[in-house]
Amino acid sequence: MPEADLAPYVTTLYHMEVGQIGEGFLADWLHPEWGNLRFRDGSPVEAAVGDAPLAAVPQAVMTGPTSVCTRFRVRPGRFWGVGLLPLGWAHFCGGDASDYRDRFCDARADEACAAIAAIGDGLFDGVVDVVREAEHLQAGLRRLLDRQVSGEDRIAKVTAALVDPAVSSVAEFADHTAMSPRTLERLCRRVFGFPPKLLLRRQRFLRSLARYMMDPSMSWLGTLDSGYHDQAHFVRDFHRFMTMSPSTYAKLEHPILMAAMRGRMEAAGQAMQVLHQPAAKA
């Protein structure tokens, strides 16, 4: 977990090591998320958001907020990631989130992401030491904390409303954030990447998916969020967000995702980044 001064901006810092896997790649499918900055030690990674073709991933890669699954495959190596809350995106990146939605970019080559990408410089140098490396990343983030961001209170209110299961309509969303629907729409596109209706729909779907992933013995019907009218409603959303049917997804192996979700649940109390309850600024 990030230290207290970074908690309003960062969900978690995560380290992954992939050991020997024989020939080929280890593959998995990642659900929609907020923005993430990831670093790799030189081991090859390929990824694709949605239906895009697999492409080589830069050594420092920024993925914007996503509304579709990301399929990826990796070879043995070490990897670090920094999960960004929407306020973290606004604070550390500065670019309009809607310009980065459903895609990834070379963070070091991107003008809006270059400053935060620099926190990974020297990350993998020297003897492997996960604690030292986590401190290295947080020290780099702290150097960016003096940036000024307008509307921080509003961003925090929107994030809190999104993780509240009781907020199920755009009208309720606007009421909870004390904004007009038009103001809410502009802020959501700029900082969260998507319009309010799609954000609420994504949250509803991911609450259901998280329940199933943490307990696959449950039926899909038993995991459905209260916002769903019936199973057909959920299946439509599954195709929208995961680009496949629930039955197809259930047959896939998830060697990386399941380990990550269990680790995240233990550390942060939520299995998915978008369900993370943001910390208030001190």
pLDDT in tens, 233-264: 999 999 999 999 999 998 998 989 989 989 99
Q: Which of 88, 121, 149 is the last residue of a domain?
A: 149
Residue 85's domain is classified under what CATH number?
2.60.120.10
Quote the pLDDT of residue 174: 94
DSSP bridge pairs for 89: none
38 and 89 share one domain: yes
Give me the number of domains the chain comprises: 2
Quote the pLDDT of residue 186: 96
Mean local confidence (pLDDT), 107-133: 95
Q: Has residue 212 got a pLDDT over 70?
A: yes
Residue 210 in domain: yes
199 and 244 share one domain: yes
Q: Report the distance separating Cα 104 and Cα 66, nearest Å.
A: 10
Averaged pLDDT of the chain: 92
139 and 261 share one domain: no
Mean local confidence (pLDDT), 135-158: 93
Indicate the pLDDT class of residue 229, thresholds 50, 70 and 90: confident
Distances (CA, A) of 127 to 24, 67, 131, 134, 180: 27, 38, 12, 14, 53
Mean local confidence (pLDDT), 99-121: 96
208 and 145 share one domain: no
Q: Report the distance separating Cα 251 and Cα 167, nearest Å.
A: 32
84 and 21 share one domain: yes
Q: Has residue 14 got a pLDDT over 90?
A: yes
Cβ distance 261 to 214 under 8 Å?
yes
Indicate the pLDDT class of residue 189, thresholds 50, 70 and 90: very high
Q: Has residue 20 got a pLDDT over 90?
A: no
β-strands 45-49, 10-18: how paired? unpaired
Quote the pLDDT of residue 268: 87
pTM (two decimals) = 0.93
The domain in which residue 198 lies consists of 152-269
Q: Which residues contact 114 (CB under 8 A, 6 or more apart)?
A: 107, 108
Other CB atoms within a 10 A radius of the CB of residue 109 amount to 11
DSSP bridge pairs for 14: 81
Mean local confidence (pLDDT), 194-206: 95
Distances (CA, A) of 282 to 2, 5, 7, 171: 14, 8, 10, 30
Burial of residue 132 (CB within 10 Å: 0-12, 13-18, 19+) is: exposed
Quote the pLDDT of residue 282: 67
89 and 103 share one domain: yes
Mean local confidence (pLDDT), 198-225: 84
Cβ distance 196 to 185 under 8 Å?
yes
Burial of residue 39 (CB within 10 Å: 0-12, 13-18, 19+) is: buried
The share of the chain scoring above pLDDT 70, in percent, equals 98
Quote the pLDDT of residue 24: 79
Residue 1 in domain: no
The share of the chain scoring above pLDDT 90, in percent, equals 71
142 and 17 share one domain: yes
